[in-house]
Structure 1
Amino acid sequence: MRIGIDARFAGHGGQGLGRYTAELIYALAEIDSDNTYAILTRQRDFWRTLPKNFSLVETSIPWYGMQEHIGIPRLIKEQDIHLMHFVHFNVPYRCPVPYIVTIHDLILRRFSSAHATTRSWPVFAVKYTAYRIGLRNALKNASRIVTVSNASALDIEHFYPFAKKKISVIYEAPTASTIVKEDPALPVSEPFFLHVGNAYPHKNLRYCIDEFVRFNEQNRTYHLALVGKRDVFYERLIRHAEQYRNAQILFLGEVGDETLSSLYRHATAYVSPSLCEGFDLPSTEAALRGIPVVASDIPVHREILGSAALFFPAEKKGALSESLQLIIASQPLRSELTEAGQQHVRQYSWKLAAQQTLELYKSMLNSV
């Protein structure tokens, strides 16, 4: 059987969806020599060498546009694909074959404020309506739905009860191979706390900055290092931080793998103040590297991190600053969190995710 995977999000500098897609494909390539795969990609030169049963199908079709509703079904037919796996909700309205869709989270449903967009309100309203229609179409017509945590599964069931029986939870995984040679040019002075990711409102980074400033008043040697693409959301965050003239807050932008590895290695703790996540891969990456994790007390963090984090109420004034104080004051606590974190996150692996995904493929192909 021939399986298609929409890998257009994977590419140079790709994160999030792209990372998930690439890691899953590489893991599938290691375990499946029976089926053939058509990998729909926008960047052929991004990929490492894949086995002969994996073929790269290059396309310039962009995502989130009308072209994909016409062009992707045409490619599926041209490639004689029997089963498709879409890694995001942007599924063609009429897919000619059965498909699986991965829904990582419903953050846009839960946080639909105009603060979460760079568009004007009328444009946002149109785009958000299109998102709602597209998501419902993707879930309704999917043969199976993959999501990356039980917390996300519950969100899907809440907003779309009809999808409940089609959902399978398959966890993502931190990747040990991303731990590379340490970069000697550390871009921040020690000691420091670290956060990695975008600055969308649900990340709760304004609260994080306010709490760090409160902590910093009594602990002037500490810095807060924020790593993430400098977009309009980070620019808003930078403007918010400017009110604290003497705060030790560093906006590092995007950094390379070696620099990121160095930051993980030297951080006092990793901080994740999010209000909502699908999986929170950076927190597991930090735990894998032996860094204590300080995380907001939300369902997905409890599920993914277990007892391997110091939790605080997500928006309570003073809660995060008190947790940071506790972390620096207690070496036994840091050691306990480090040991628990490394042990806990080893249960997640891309090989296991690929095996579970392949079982879904097989069950669907057997029913075709």
Structure 2
Amino acid sequence: MRKELVKFTNKEVEYIFDGSFTELPLTHQRDKIIIVTDENLYKYHADKMEGFAVIKLPAGEGFKQQRTVDDIITQLLELQADKNSIIVGVGGGVVTDMAGYAASIYKRGVKLILVPTSILAMVDAAIGGKNGVDVGPFKNMVGTIYQPEQLIFDYSFLHTLPHEEWVNGFAEIIKHACIKDAHFFEMLVGKTLIDFKNDPTLLANLIEKNVAVKTGIVLSDEFETGERKLLNFGHTIGHAIENLYDLPHGHAVSIGMVAAATISEQLSNFPAASKQRLIQLLEQYHLPVHLSFDKEAIWDILLMDKKRENNSMNFILLNSIGDAVVTPIPLVQLKDLIEQCL
């Protein structure tokens, strides 16, 4: 177990790597802990949650809506949760998003601990304080930035993670390499998904590496006025197709990264050979790289994207692998690029 204290603007967050969820009662009052998880995870890990108050949510992105958070709050009231209660979000990115959102607004804020249980949540979704819900097909339209007290990385939860969720998580890992670290990209080229699944030390190092990349970006721009926008590489088109076509988040981001690389070729002189290397790496980790989609329907969703400012979209482009840039693209030009290039 390794602990690291990270100082954000309004809170110090304790990262506990290779920690144990079951040790929570040793450091926190058991009767103040309320676990928020989903039905799938509870099915496999009910024994770990025995003796705690548990709020079980239906599983899946389709339930990442305000009505589900309203249900969490109703159950918190029924449990007579007070200002000293601790909400513990145990699950993938959907759970950590909704647990964080609920904790930030219940009684104007209660303590929050996150226990990410998927690769995607460990390397991305649970880090940085962002939370929220979708509104219909529009991703993450409502939410807050609210840091937890602790992030507990309990790798034992990965033992029951389905293979497709390992694949899903590697999209965000590859994204981090693309925007920040060419050497990391080369390391991924030399490995396979099976290598990481079969080597606990290699996997732990991978998770810590990604946590460091994302944390470093968030510390430099916690409230997303500049550099933090780089984390949206692949997410502009990715978010637009995710809910419209009911895609796993990582699959949508993978397709979105290839689309962003194509636009980078046009606007940022991103080499065609580098784009091909990105495609090959995504395929190496079993991620999709293309989707035939309804461009008009996607455009209607893009117009509501949070990265839009007036008549332009803050789009994340690559100059080279490991070097990303935020580029405002006029909407008229972006629509032409989508029509012609994708």
TM-score, length of structure 1 as denominator length = 0.29
Higher radius of gyration, 1 or 2 = 1
Hey, which of these two has a bigger chunk of helix by percent? 2
With structure 2 as the length reference, what TM-score do the two structures score?
Answer: 0.31
